[in-house]
């Protein structure tokens, strides 16, 4: 019987996997340029490693995250353009965070002609606590406004300026919530779309320097 997967074990395994994967040759990925295929390969390899060592609930498609028991989602992205998408729930996510933490693998792919295999080097393995998953520009702007004694009208104007995808009724409720509970500073870049577009350059830069953003062994 395998032990249950804990957050500490997930982080430890992520660091070990990053080292192990970076030293492997992957013949099946030689010449593959589809980033989604590479990302899926790494996701399955990591999930398989965990299933051989731990017990944990499978990813919940309704919530759209890979480790619902730990409230963590796994993201795999290329170092050339470190970004991915995630389900859009509501505009509040941009201010108070996604509602779950992120485990992010950032890889660089090299094809080795002599061995006709791909080498997938995981350059960064970063854990982002859910409190840090808001949008940097939106949250930093709101915090500056609150420091300058902003009122409800100021916040509503800021929502319009930032083109926050929110109805008038929800904007009113959100402004009242922000005045009661100022948001923490987020470190993602979240672009408006039918699905949120998450960009990770800032978390890579800040990993290990900011509470809630950990660099896992790489």
Distance CA 46, CA 79 (A): 18
Mean predicted confidence (pLDDT) in 117-136: 93
pLDDT at res. 33: 79
pLDDT at res. 114: 81
pLDDT at res. 89: 86
Render pLDDT for 174-216 as a digit per residue (tens, 0 to 9): 999 999 999 999 999 999 876 788 999 999 999 999 999 999 9
pLDDT at res. 216: 93
DSSP result, the chain: -PPBP-HHHHHHHHHHHHHHHHT-EEGGGTT---HHHHHHHHHHHHHHHHHTT-B-PPPBTTTTBSBTTTTEEEEEEETTS-EEEEE---THHHHH--SSEEEEEEEEEEEETTTTEEEEEEEEEEEE-GGG-SBHHHHHHHHHHHHTT--HHHHHHHHHHTT----HHHHHHHHHHHHHSPPPPP-BEEE-SSEEEEE-HHHHHHTTTBTTEEE---
Render pLDDT for 8-52 as a digit per residue (tens, 0 to 9): 999 999 999 999 998 888 888 877 777 888 889 999 999 999 999
**pLDDT greater than 60 at residue 61:** no
Distances, alpha carbon 54 to alpha carbons 3, 4, 21, 45, in Å: 5, 5, 19, 14
Render pLDDT for 64-111 as a digit per residue (tens, 0 to 9): 799 999 999 999 999 988 889 888 888 999 999 999 999 999 999 888
Distance CA 218, CA 204 (A): 11
Mean predicted confidence (pLDDT) in 125-148: 96
Distances, alpha carbon 67 to alpha carbons 22, 31, 56, 98, in Å: 23, 31, 8, 14
Q: Which is it for the CA torsion 162, 167, 169, 170, positive or negative? A: negative
- The order of strands in the sheet holding 83-87 is 83-87, 195-199, 189-191
**pLDDT greater than 70 at residue 60:** no
**pLDDT greater than 80 at residue 153:** yes
pTM listed for this prediction:
0.92
Taken in order of first residue, the domains within the chain and their CATH numbers are 7-82+100-132+192-215 (3.40.210), 137-180 (no CATH)
**pLDDT greater than 60 at residue 62:** no
pLDDT band, residue 115 (cuts 50/70/90): confident
């Amino acid at each position: 019987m395998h032990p249950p997967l804990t957050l500490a074990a997930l982080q430890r395994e992520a660091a070990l996997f990053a080292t192990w994967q970076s030293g492997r040759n992957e013949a099946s990925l030689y010449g593959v340029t589809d980033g989604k295929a590479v990302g899926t390969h790494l996701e399955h390899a990591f999930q398989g490693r965990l299933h051989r060592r731990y017990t944990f609930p499978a990813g919940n498609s309704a919530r759209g995250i890979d480790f619902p028991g730990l409230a963590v989602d796994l993201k795999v992205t290329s170092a050339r353009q470190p970004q991915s998408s995630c389900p859009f729930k509501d505009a509040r996510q941009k201010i108070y965070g996604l509602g779950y933490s992120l485990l992010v693998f950032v890889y660089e792919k090299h094809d080795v002609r002599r061995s006709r295999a791909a080498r997938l080097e995981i350059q960064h393995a970063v854990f982002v606590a859910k409190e840090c998953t808001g949008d940097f520009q939106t949250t930093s702007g709101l915090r500056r406004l609150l420091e300058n004694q902003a009122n409800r009208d100021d916040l509503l104007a800021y929502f319009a300026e930032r083109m926050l995808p929110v109805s008038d009724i929800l904007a009113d409720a959100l402004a009242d919530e922000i005045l009661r509970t100022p948001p923490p500073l987020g470190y993602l870049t979240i672009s408006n779309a039918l699905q949120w577009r998450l960009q990770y350059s800032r978390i890579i830069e800040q990993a290990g320097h900011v509470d809630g953003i950990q660099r896992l062994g790489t």
